[in-house]
Amino acid sequence: MSEKSELGIMDIFVNPMKVTMKQFFKSTFGKPATVMYPLEKRDPPPTYRGMNAIIWDLCIGCGICAEVCPNRCLKMKPVELSDEEHDRAWYGSHLAKRKHKPERPAINFGHCMFCGFCEDYCPTGAMTMTDFYEMADTSREGLIYPARTMKVDLEDLPQLPLTNYMMESPVLDIDPCIGCSKCVDNCPTNCIIMDVGPHDKTLKSGKLRNVENPYFDYTLCIGCSVCVKVCPADCLHMEPTSNSSLSGLTTEESPTEA
């Protein structure tokens, strides 16, 4: 630590001016640090979290992005898909079978904080974040982006394995199950099948009938809990995945990077 006595009266301006003079000549004859924004732009790194884009054919409409969004700015909205899109969709065959319209995420960027959870937790890698950040708009309504506006079509799709980032899977409580098969209709990955269950139930007419129960293929399950939400009898609940090999997180490189 330099002592007080070291500094003389001339150090009032001599020492500081040495630095400022040097910088003055450096930035007069060199390039100043300023980035002249509208004319020149700095390039964001490839990992940059900018505006979202949906790789259209990979999206299966599971709603995990809406589930993990901390700001609830992402909502699943029904979208009309053309026949061609149905054909090209990864799980299109399953979607065609469903009774209601397929859903795709719509984002209100006025509320979005670009945390990147929707990208990280997307089981198919359909939700991505681009390096586009100039999204200013003159109205709040202009910041609500329907799914179609974020649509991206890729030539060769990266077919990633379905990964369960949610670390949870549905578990059936067999007694209340009424065998309505709503969970099968709504499962975005078609990992549920209905099969003969252990119980018989008495119908109103007095007949005994065997109730079909859902069976889960946990290798395909992505933990989206859609089945839990649609279950009319509350017979499903989520439980932590016991089988860690299902999770894609064990691999050395995180799948989000690919």
Partner 1 sequence: MTLFGACRIMAELSIRILIPIFEFQEGLFPPFSNPAGWFADWLATDGGLDTMAWFYAVNIALMVGMTNLILVIHLERKIAARIQDRRGPMLSFRSLREVGEDLSGNAPSWKFKENYSGIGILQNVADGIKAFTKELIIPTKADRFLFTMGPIIFISSSVFLLALFPLSDRFAASSAPAGLMVIMAAFSIAPIGILTSGWASNNKYSMIGGMRSAAQLMSYEIPLLLSMAGVFLVAGSFDPVTIVEQQRESTWLFGLPMWNIIPQFIGFVVFMVCILAEVERVPFDLPEAEAELVEGWTTEYSGIRFMFFLMAEYIRGFAGAAVATILFLGGWAGPWPVPPEIWFLIKVYLIIIFWIFIRWSVPRIRTDQILVLGWKKLLPLSLINILIVIFMVEIYPYFTAIVNLPEVF
Partner 2 sequence: MAEMWISMGPQHPMTHGLWTLKVKVDGETITDADPELGYLHRSVEKMGERRKYFMNTTLPDRLCYASSTTWTHCYVLTVEELMNVEIPERAKYVRTIMLELQRLASHLMWAGSYMPDLGHITGALYFWRDRELFLNLLEVPSGSRLLYNYIRIGGVKRDLPDGFVEKAERVMKLFEQRLDEYSDLFENSKIFRMRTEDVGKFTAAQAQNLGITGPNMRGCGTKFDLRRNDPYEIYEEIDWDIQTREAGPGYGDCFSRYMVRIDEMKESMRIIRDCFKKMPKGPTLASTIPVRAQGEAFRRTEDSRGEALMYIVGDGTDRPYRWKIKSPMFTTISAAPHYLKGYKVADIPAIMGSVDICIGETDK
Q: Under the criterion CB under 8 A, does residue 146 sit at the interface with partner 1?
A: no
Q: Which is nearer to partner 2, 33 or 208 (CB)?
A: 33
Q: Which two tokens stand for residue 166?
A: 């949610």
Q: Which two tokens stand for residue 147?
A: 């799914």
Contact window for partner 1 (CB under 8 A) among 27-35, 107-115, 168-176, 196-204: 27-35
* Binding at 27: pick from partner 2, partner 1, none (beta carbon under 5-8 Å per type): partner 1
Q: Under the criterion CB under 8 A, does residue 190 sit at the interface with partner 2?
A: no
Q: Under the criterion CB under 8 A, does residue 32 sit at the interface with partner 1?
A: yes
Least CB distance from residue 6 to partner 1, whole Å?
17
Least CB distance from residue 3 to partner 2, whole Å?
10
Q: Under the criterion CB under 8 A, does residue 12 sit at the interface with partner 2?
A: yes
- Note the residue count of the chain: 258
- How wide is the angle at C-alpha 21 spanned by C-alphas 20 and 26, nearest 5°? 95
Q: Under the criterion CB under 8 A, does residue 142 sit at the interface with partner 1?
A: no
Q: Under the criterion CB under 8 A, does residue 138 sit at the interface with partner 1?
A: no
Least CB distance from residue 134 to partner 1, whole Å?
16
Least CB distance from residue 209 to partner 2, whole Å?
36
CB-based contacts of 257, cutoff 8 Å, min separation 6: none
CB-based contacts of 153, cutoff 8 Å, min separation 6: 55, 56, 57
Q: Of 30, 52, 51, 33, nearest to 42 (Cα)?
A: 33
Query: Within the chain, what is the greatest distance between any pair of CA atoms?
Result: 106
CB-based contacts of 192, cutoff 8 Å, min separation 6: 183, 184, 214, 215, 216, 217, 227
What's phi and psi for 53, nearest 5 deg?
-140, 145
Q: Which is nearer to partner 2, 155 or 252 (CB)?
A: 252
What's phi and psi for 207, nearest 5 deg?
-80, 150
Selected from 120, 193, 211, 218, the binder of partner 2 by CB under 8 A is 120
Nearest-angstrom CA–CA distance, 125 and 82: 22
Task: List residues near partner 2 by CB under 8 A.
Answer: 1-2, 4, 7-9, 11-12, 15-16, 18-20, 22-23, 33, 44-45, 47-49, 68, 70, 113-117, 120, 129, 166-168, 240-241, 244, 247, 249-254, 256-257
Task: List residues near partner 1 by CB under 8 A.
Answer: 9, 12-13, 16-17, 19-21, 23-24, 26-28, 32-34, 36, 39
